[in-house]
Structure 1
């Protein structure tokens, strides 16, 4: 799994997703909010990960179960992995080289380790990570370690799946509290870019080779609760999904510069949380409190908010995953439809399993 994300192979990845994206779409995109039902609740799952078995594992936030979505049968299972009590537990997850999924501790003091082979979960191996709201999303780096993005924590969380240990002392001094960064993206240069959320006006740039963090190269991104997450596009740039911001953030890892003026979106709060790259090359923003799906076209740097509309409500879905069938599955948070959001971009091309499972695409 880590071979694909080594910097020397990154251009092969970019080349392949460009080949697929140039095939375009066969028709206009559609969505379905009736086929996959889930139990009624609020603040259920936040983020999801595609496992090697082809199923999507949703990370429990307030839910006490892991939601397992089967794209082949269009069904959901929330009874296999249960008993995960607590509030605001984990936010986002990452597929490790060992085939297990690591849930990032938000309020939980433990890392959630899901084994898709056995459909079991472990919360007792990596523990003692402190109370409070800590990390929001994570990214698998080329060195095989997982880097948790500090929302409120003073440190980057570094998980070693080989030893099942965690380190919070190597990259530290980032400031306690403030909702700093939300989710991260692995760039082709091997560095991880943390998306500025609230307290910080800078992009967090983590260098896994040196285990250092840089907050001074990309700055001046002011505002409150700006972008919820980021997505790597076929052009090699990272697109930040608007939370409260009325623009899309575009980060260029080659020049370490950012543009927050090219793509505008309507005003609003908690509009989209999470974004997914489809094989057609477009990025689909998951509607939280917006009633439309955000479709970003990196080829033209434009946004479409008219193709998929009518999704009323607040805090509906949090994060999403593209499946081997090319469809995107939005994860139920507080949606009153009590369903998974299934979007069909009608992509002509497709992503092979190694692309789908790579940390370029497969994380929150």
Structure 2
């Protein structure tokens, strides 16, 4: 009896002690909000230890990093001119313009050109060189704006025979030459320095300048051609469209607007015209001007999205608002025949006319609609057309000057290559 009782007491005491002591080792449950607990869950989930837990659950995955916005300066020249990208282009242009200039602009000349009526317009290549487009000269030349040296030449034909009036850079990097006295278009390769002729034209001063559109095709500006023309540089085909024209010569150069339409600049035409490359229409707008020869010669798109028309014989400059289709005359032009031959936008946001018969250089401020003359130009059909180089300087092509022109706007900013080479600015 005593043995049995003692045995039961011992067993009870052991059970009680075991129960009591085991309770000393029971831990409080971990805090589910603690970092150690969350890390444990993530580890078990990623290792597959917990069935029903997937690695893609939002409770255990981190958000993807946000990629920075792509710069417009990393786009292609064709992407740059898409209307949906204009705001990005405008922001970049305005940023560079806001950096201002070191001082007043300076004009200098360099080199020797022996041909008379040598070039009309120029095109900047992807390599940063400038191709001067021959008019009545005997050669195409490549100019290095850094060294101021002619680095290559291509014989074209006889002196005095009108050939091309300007050119445009295609998205593929070729330069498409705009026919004047030739009876065909020409695609020039600035790498191999070879050219291929294609298509047909009349050869009677058909076009003066041209513009690439966002659809990858280019549009020569009619000088004596009765219709606007669309040229596909890939298939090397062309077709006319739109309403027939009635005055001759009609236009001198054109500008691609932010909306993707092209604005031809009246030479003898009575009104400005908007060309829609998608609808294939040409629509006149603005005030009626008498049809005298040589009103304006070329235009330039500014960072504010408006177009500024360069005087030939007209007495004033003109601002075009492509949205409202309104015209605003401003500033006093020289009033002489063939005063300027095109203009060029500089990184400081100002526009510089290329003197033809004018005897002064000109700076146009689109923000204030003011015109400032500076320096001395020789007149006598000096230069025809110009282009902005990556170094921030403007280069005018000799027509009769016998030398190349360099205008240094002394801008602090720089326009990046995709915008610089785009159809907004790289054309005549």
Q: 87, 105, 111: which one pairs with 1:36?
A: 111
Matched, 1:355 2:426: no
1:288-307 pair list within 5 angstroms: 288-305=356-373, 307=374
1:122 aligns to what?
196
**1:111-260 superposed matches below 5 A:** 111-123=185-197, 126-168=198-240, 170-175=241-246, 178-198=248-268, 200-215=269-284, 217-222=285-290, 224=292, 225-260=294-329
Partner of 1:319: 385
TM-score, normalised via structure 1 length: 0.93
| Unaligned ranges ≥5, structure 1 | none
Equivalent residues of 1:191, 1:205 under 8 A apart = yes
Structure 2: gaps spanning 5 or more residues: 1-76
Matches within 5 A, 1:265-284: 265-284=333-352
Secondary structure of the residue aligned to 2:238 is strand
Deviations 1:88-143 (A, max 9, x none): 111011001111001111121111221011111223xx132113111110000000
CA contact (8 A) 1:227 1:249 kept: no
Shift of 1:221: 2.9
Write the distance in 1 (CA, Å) between the matches of 2:92 and 2:290: 35
Q: Secondary structure at the match of 1:355?
A: helix
Displacement of 1:17 in angstroms is: 0.8
Instruction: Determine the structure 2 residue equivalent to 1:10.
Output: 86
Verify: 1:81 aligned to 2:154, yes or no: yes
Per-residue deviation at 1:267? 2.0
Relative to its length, the structure with more helix (as a share) is 2
C-alpha separation in 1, matches of 2:354 and 2:184 = 27
User: Contact (CA 8 Å) 1:135, 1:157: kept in 2 or not?
Assistant: no
Equivalent of residue 143 in structure 2, options 50, 53, 69: 69
- Determine the C-alpha separation between the residues in 2 that align with 1:147 and 1:278: 24
Q: Distance in 2 between matches of 1:249 and 1:89?
A: 30
SS, match of residue 153 in structure 2: coil
CA distance in 2, matches of 1:254, 1:142: 18
Superposed CA offset, 1:186-216 (max 9, x none)? 0001100000111x2111210011111112x
Alignment match of 1:22 (pick from 98, 122, 137): 98
Higher relative contact order (CA 8 A, sep 6+): 1
Which structure is larger by alpha-carbon Rg, 1 or 2?
2
The CA distance in 2 between the partners of 1:269 and 1:36, in whole Å, is 27
Q: Find the counterpart in structure 2 of residue 100 from structure 1.
A: 174
Alpha-carbon separation, structure 2, partners of 1:122 and 1:62: 19
**Count of equivalent residues:** 350
Does the Cα contact within 8 Å between 1:181 and 1:204 map onto a contact in 2?
no
Contact kept? 1:81, 1:121, Cα under 8 Å? no
Contact (CA 8 Å) 2:185, 2:200: kept in 1 or not?
no
Matched, 1:310 2:376: yes
Question: Residue 320 of structure 2 aligns to a residue in which SS?
Answer: strand
| TM-score normalised over the length of structure 2 | 0.79
| Cα distance in 1, alignment partners of residues 335 and 327 from structure 2 | 21
Shift of 1:172: 4.8
Q: Which secondary structure state, in structure 1, belongs to the residue aligned with residue 419 of structure 2?
A: helix
User: Does the 8 A contact of 1:288 with 1:316 survive in 2?
Assistant: yes
